[in-house]
Structures are given as C-alpha cells and as structure tokens.
Amino acid sequence: MTDTAHSPGPLRGLRVVEIAALGAAPFAAMMLADAGADVLRIDRPGQNTDDVGILGRGRAAELGLDLKDLHERDRALEAIDHADVLIEGFRPGVMERLGLGPDICLGRNPGLIYARMTGWGQDGPLATTAGHDINYLALTGALRSITRQGDVPVPPLNLVGDYGGGGMLLVAGILAALYERVSSNTGQVVDTAMIDGTSLLMSGIWNRKSTGNWSSEPGTNSIDSGSHFYNVYRTADDAFIAVGSIEPQFYERLLRGLGLADTDLPAQQDRAQWPAMKDRFARIIRTKTREEWTAIFAELDACVSPVLTLDEAVTDPHMQFRNTLLRGERVEPSPAPRYGRTPGAAGGSKSTKPAETVLTQWASTIEATPATTRTGQH
C-alpha cells in the first residue's frame, strides 16, 4: 500500500495532530490521511496501536507522550504549533486539565482548527458522563425508530453515532473551518457531538414526521419494516434478500418477479393491507433460495438485492469491480470518496517515518513558505 504522506490526495500538505482516542476520532483522522494529509498521532507511551488497526492506517508518524508530564506536554505543544488541525476525543475538560485546551493552543497557533469529538457535546447536563454509540442513539430517538413493530430496538452496530454522526461530521466540520480560514486567517474550535450528528442524520425522518407522513409507532412506516415493499425476507436456504421497491415502476417489477403481476392485489400504499402483504411476500420468497431470487431479479431492475455476509461482500462482482474492499494482509475499505484528479490512497497500518523527521519537515515547510500562500497561515 502507498504511504499516505506521499499521496497526491487533495489534502496533501495538510498537517494534523491526532491525540489518540477511540472510535470516531481515529476514523476522522484516517479519512484525512486517506485524502493525503500528514497525520501525526500522539499516543500514550507503550500504548498498543495494533488495537486501532484499520482506523490507524496512513499516519505519517506516531509519537508516544505522557501528556501529564510537563516536559512531554510541551513536546505535544510544539507539534501543535506547526499543525493546521488538532483532533481530540476526550471528555470535556480533559484537554484543559492537561494544559492543551483551545485557549492555550489557539493562543500559540491562531490558525489552528481545534476539532473536538464527544458523544454528548462540550456542554449540557450529560456532557461529562460516559456513553457509547447505543446511548447517544437512545437519547435522540434514532434507536427507538430502528425497531420492528412489537420487537425491541436493534443497535445498528456503531455506524450511526461513532462513524456517520461522529467521525464523518467531524471531517465535514474540519473542512468547513479550513475553508473559512482562507479568508479570515484565523482558526477556531469545531465542537462535534454524536447526538448532534445522529439527529442530523435523522433529518429525513423528522421531515416526514413534520408533514404527517411518519408514525411515532416504529415498524409501521414505509422504510422501517412496516411495508411489504421495503423489507428483508428469509429465503428457502435460510439466507435473505432485501426488497426496496418503493417507486411504482419498481414495485410493478417486484410483483412480476414474485409471480404476482396478474393477481388482484390491494393498492401498494394501502397501509391497512401491509401486514397481510408482508406475510404473502414472505411465504412466496421462502419457496426459493437466495441465489434463485438473485437470478430472477438480475434483469428486472426492481431494487431487490441479496443480503451478503461480510465474507461474501469481499467476492461480490460489483464490489470487486469497484475495488471497494482492499484485499492484502487484511480486508479493509478503500478510501472514499474518490477524486478524479488527486486520488488518495490507503496507507499502511504502521508509520514509516520517525516523528521527529515529520516535525522537522513541518517546521521547515512553515519557515520556507510565505504566510500569504500557506494552507495554514500561522
């Protein structure tokens, strides 16, 4: 794999200091590294970075520092002085107690984008309490909404809070602040909270609710397993297919594939008939294997897909064509999104440069480049 420090990605030359954390923060740093940024990761001495795995790929270097030690904290500050972005994922107040809070860092480096990642946010009654993805989803209403009628909510892995409403939102905030810095010549704090991001991801559902098209009773709506045309069904071989035939033209093709095209059926949007139609679809789909249904719908373009396991996803023809999953010593996702002129690259899991070399390069770049032309105008 390519060393991200040499990637021609769109963020090449961006200098990022990442204070080691879990989940969303390293995911955001990985995305920046994939896009070409130089990311210096500061870990506790002796911390096992293998635990970070794929999320730790592409770092320009790693530096072990005990931030409670004043001398080593000063070394961290020297790195931050040369950075465009700082990413931290501690509970509110921790960085301040370490002497690395925004006032100190921005006082030394006015152009710094100080990016903070928490679950509950920097303030509020729950700000300093513990939590995980499932807790943040619970408070926002998202978790209760991911429920089949009469069943218990299903945690959607940690995709929504940690990565979608956390890490990806953090990256968006960083990039927006960097863009603003071009005109203001000034950095700022980016406060990213998973409850905010999760709520933002629920915008479409809140919109449906505001227009009267969404019931608060989970499992009764069109896309939450309430309908027969947007659901998951078990096949004869105890596998599954996913049906997403929302629009009338796709629904007509779905009925054709199921052998119901010439049958007298209730209207697609007749909600009173959805439970009975789900049962009818389930009985029909149970008569054939997943591969048989895949073959039937291959030419119908009805928004019907086989539900693959992780191992099966690796060998899927479309996934392979797109090279969506990289296969080497391990399987890992490719960098995304893709850039036509400045493609990024997934760096290896281990840094190839000493941290001091990276810091020297950062310092020399800042000294040699006029302030009016630098990405980070410090």
Q: Burial level of 285, CB count in 10 A (0-12/13-18/19+)? A: buried
Which one of 162, 191, 196, 224 is the catalytic residue?
Answer: 162
Q: Is 304 exposed, middle or buried (0-12, 13-18, 19+ CB in 10 A)?
A: buried
Alpha-carbon dihedral sign for residues 293, 298, 304, 305: positive
The tokens of 129 are what? 């309490």
Q: Smallest Cα–Cα separation from 98: which of 32, 38, 169, 20?
A: 20
Q: Is 132 a catalytic residue?
A: yes
State how far the Cα of 31 lies from the Cα of 22, in Å rounded to an integer.
15
Distances (CA, A) of 55 to 8, 244, 283: 20, 31, 42
Instruction: Quote the CA–CA distance of 138 and 98 in Å, as a whole number.
Output: 31
The 3-state DSSP class for residue 117 equals strand
Distance, in Å, from the CA atom of 75 to the CA atom of 66, rounded to the nearest integer, reads: 10
Burial class (CB in 10 A: 0-12, 13-18, 19+), 326: middle
Catalytic residue flag (residue 237): no
Catalytic residue from among 3, 43, 81, 132:
132
Helix (H, G, I), strand (E, B) or coil at 320: helix
Interatomic CA distance for residues 228 and 281, integer angstroms: 7
Pairwise CA distance, residues 371 & 348, whole Å: 32
61-65 contact pairs (CB < 8 A, 24+): 61/351, 61/353, 61/354, 61/355, 61/357, 61/358, 62/351, 62/355, 63/355
Active site members? 132, 162
